[in-house]
Amino acid sequence: MSATPARRVALLTLGCARNEVDSEELAARLDAGGWQVSTDADGADVVLVNTCGFVEKAKQDSIETLLAAADTGAKVVAAGCMAERYGRELADTLPEAQAVLGFDDYPDIAARLDGVLAGERFDAHTPRDRRELLPLTPVHRQAAAVVVPGHATVDEHTPAHLRQVLRRRLDSGPVASLKLASGCDRRCAFCAIPAFRGAFVSRDPQELLAEAEWLAKTGVRELVLVSENSTSYGKDLGDPRLLEKLLPQLAAIDGIVRVRASYLQPAETRPGLVEAIATTAGVAAYFDLSFQHSSEPVLRRMRRFGSTQRFLELLDTARALAPEAGARSNFIVGFPGETRGDVAELVRFLSAARLDAIGVFDYSDEDGTEAAGLPGKVRADTVKRRYDRISALADELCAQRAEERLGSLVEVLVDTIDDGEVEGRAEHQAPEVDGSTTLVAGDAGVDLAALRPGDLVRARVTGTEGVDLVAVPVEMVSAAPTVSTAAR
């Protein structure tokens, strides 16, 4: 009897780290369903694109990736946020895709791709507000039978810490994201994410610890905690301080040398959480704070809280506990009603905040958001001018902040080694979104040629290139363990 030909699927991921975790859940489901999974579209029978639907540029990138996938001759399937957000509309405008699948299709993803390969056509879903699928009261959400990507439970009758981890890593690097929660209960006027990601749902802490231990066994050295709003973690589990308790537990896992919390809402960042991030051994003193603006009138129209003064006080509190703490944030310019005075207030804040990394976005209307219907739209040429100005200022200020670190000691996790160039990240540098640190040879006792990805070294900063650092390693803090291929 001849063997069944292998079915090959390429899983391409766009967008944020949360999507990367979702893709690894999909990879595990597909692997269990008999599919060979890779991230290389060459020779694939099906290309599954986990799309991003956050802002216009991300949506355009998703469309271009889907069209490029179709050019390979493989069958193309769209999943992820853009597919969930637009459903049938996307399917009608993109005939190149054989299927547009929503989150509810994820548990049966292997069967869906089997059907696609067999020539079946699937009716795309009609999008709905996924917040309405879960109870209004957070503490009642855990029992709801709703598909939430990244929250799959293989066997609900088995204790969380003993359950099989439904995840397959798609790369072998020393850093991996760990999804704390999904969805969001905030109502920011510019953001459509809650409508297609749903209301906020935390993951069981024992399940998180089990997954973190599994990741460590595959060679992961740094855990990046991700969600739409990490500061809400635990509120639906009856303990809004749960993240403060979870951080030291994660940091204590054998093999993990750094835990990094991301996606913090300033209005929910309590003093206890600031202290936990700033002072817990093994937790990066790193504050990824979603400020978005600093002018009070703009923030109120955004349905957000805070001000220049309150944000500076929050940063001061963190730096009083950890003087070298890293901090980053994103900002939107050109929001409806923004005035020259509001921009001047944002400039005042940025100039005083000493942020290590700043992301700047020019405002654009998003389907289904409150802001799309607000009066006082700022002219497109004015938005561009403000965007260019704030972006240039951000580059200058972040470069200055990097220069402040000259001569200091930083702990660098080695990420990659390519043609002898050793690249890593210091504690204040998150993967992808911030700068990096290049390690160079010096007179100290660390052999640069002997370093491997996953090594944690202490290094002295000797130079800067914009937000990036150049540093000489002076001692090994923790060498990466040898990981067997079976563990992966």
- Residue 37's Cβ-count burial label (10 Å; 0-12, 13-18, 19+) is buried
CA–CA gap between residue 308 and residue 486 (Å, rounded): 51
CA–CA gap between residue 300 and residue 169 (Å, rounded): 41
Residue 253: count of CB within 10 angstroms of its CB: 18
Residue with tokens 């879903």: 125
> What are the tokens at 129?
């507000």
Q: Kindly calculate the radius of gyration of the chain based on its CA atoms and give it in whole angstroms.
A: 23
- Which ranges of 296-454 does DSSP label H, i.e. alpha helix? 296-301, 308-321, 340-353, 380-403
| Beta carbons of 224 and 178 less than 8 angstroms apart | yes
- Which ranges of 218-301 does DSSP label H, i.e. alpha helix? 242-251, 271-279, 296-301
Residue 19: count of CB within 10 angstroms of its CB: 22
Q: Which of 357, 358, 483, 340 is nearest to 429 (CA)?
A: 357
Please give the C-alpha separations between residue 474 and each of 218, 267, 418, 460, in angstroms, as whole numbers: 27, 39, 21, 7
- In DSSP notation, 177-221 reads EEE-EE------TT--HHHHH-S-EEPPHHHHHHHHHHHHHTT--
CA–CA gap between residue 481 and residue 479 (Å, rounded): 6
Q: Binding residue per annotation — 398?
A: no
Question: Is the Cα torsion angle 21, 25, 30, 31 positive or negative in sign?
Answer: positive
Q: Which of 320, 309, 212 is nearest to 260 (CA)?
A: 212
CA–CA gap between residue 184 and residue 181 (Å, rounded): 9
Q: Binding residue per annotation — 191?
A: yes
Phi, psi of 37 (to 5 degrees): -110, 135
From the annotation, which residues make up the binding site? Answer: 16, 52, 81, 184, 188, 191
From the annotation, which residues make up the binding site for [4Fe-4S] cluster? Answer: 16, 52, 81, 184, 188, 191
